[in-house]
Amino acid sequence: MTPLLEAKGVSKYFGEFRALQGVSLAINAGEFVAVVGPNGAGKTTLVNLLTGLLTPSKGQVFFKGANISGVGPIALAKRGMARTFQLVQIFPQLTVAETIAAAVVSQQQKQWRLFATLSADVALRERVRQIADIFGLSDRLQSAARMLSQGEKKLLDVASAFALNPEVILLDEPTSGVSTSEKHALMKTLIGAAKAAGVRAIILVEHDMDLVASYSQRIVALSEGKLLADLPPGPFFADPQIIAAVVGKRKGH
């Protein structure tokens, strides 16, 4: 079976600095895979390679069997993979409805006439409402994104990615800045929304080990740019050396 997403021996160098060295991993349909590691481990670089933002210095990245190395997130979204946008930070003046609509319009490859389209296109309005319903944001459609709580902003970020109808979605620390009491509720909403939307695989980049343990089927750990482990949660958390390497180091990016 061809993996949905696969990295084959990918390395990324920035001048003399080796951010990632010879990392291989495969993600199959139905999987929830967490990517973990201390600061400076190479997580962001790996994510940027997997989502086409960066081209590997060595190795290749494949999505549904096609080489996607460096194609960019927009082209990749059209093929069926999306990562959370954090559009709220980019366009805080937009309403919830406008933020979701921006993603829907881009996915449908319509001419970029966001505000005219939002009022005139019944199908677009219905799609926006459907997505808002999935994420519990129906009552906030006319609210400015900047007025949302931190938890609601995270939901809106992910809702925008879901609007692209992805087969694979990459969640980059979706609970950062959210209170501890809200984190599990947020994750359950995201996973339920993924199932409802027909998402085939989820990749979670997360530093909260409680969340990783609770929701992951596999954990990919990086350390100093190299693959440290690729294990189910049981064996992963049973290995004190892996835990020390992942949790015990605190290095700057």
pLDDT tens-place string over residues 21-76: 999 999 999 999 999 999 889 998 999 999 888 999 999 999 999 999 889 877 88
Please say which residue of 109, 140, 165 terminates a domain. Answer: 165
Give the distance between the most distant pair of CA atoms in the chain. Answer: 58
The whole domain housing 152 covers 84-165
Residue 186 inside a domain? The answer is no
pTM summary value: 0.86
Exposed/middle/buried for 109, CB within 10 Å: 0-12, 13-18, 19+? exposed
Radius of gyration of the chain (CA): 18
Q: CA separation (Å) from 61 to 6, 14, 43, 99, 142?
A: 6, 18, 15, 30, 40
Residue 161 inside a domain? The answer is yes
Q: CA separation (Å) from 90 to 34, 145, 171, 197?
A: 26, 10, 17, 25
Query: Is 44 found in the same domain as 12?
Result: yes
Residue 189 inside a domain? The answer is no
User: Residues 5, 181: contact at Cβ < 8 Å?
Assistant: no
pLDDT digits (tens, 9 = 90+) for 192-235: 888 888 899 999 999 899 999 999 999 999 999 999 999 999 99
Tell me the C-alpha distance between 34 and 218, whole Å. Answer: 6
Query: Is 139 found in the same domain as 16?
Result: no
User: Which residues lie closer than 8 Å to 67 by C-beta, 6 or more apart?
Assistant: 60, 61
Token pair belonging to 238: 């049973």
Residue closest to 20 by CA, chosen among 31, 29, 9, 28? 9
Residue 191 inside a domain? The answer is no
- The helix or strand, by DSSP H or E, that contains position 75, with its residue range, turns out to be helix 73-79
Query: Is 75 found in the same domain as 102?
Result: no
Indicate the pairing of strand 32-36 with strand 218-223. Answer: parallel
% the chain with pLDDT above 70: 91
User: Which residues lie closer than 8 Å to 119 by C-beta, 6 or more apart?
Assistant: none
DSSP state of 163: T
pLDDT digits (tens, 9 = 90+) for 13-23: 999 999 999 99
230 forms bridges with which residues in the sheet? Answer: 220
Query: Is 124 found in the same domain as 96?
Result: yes
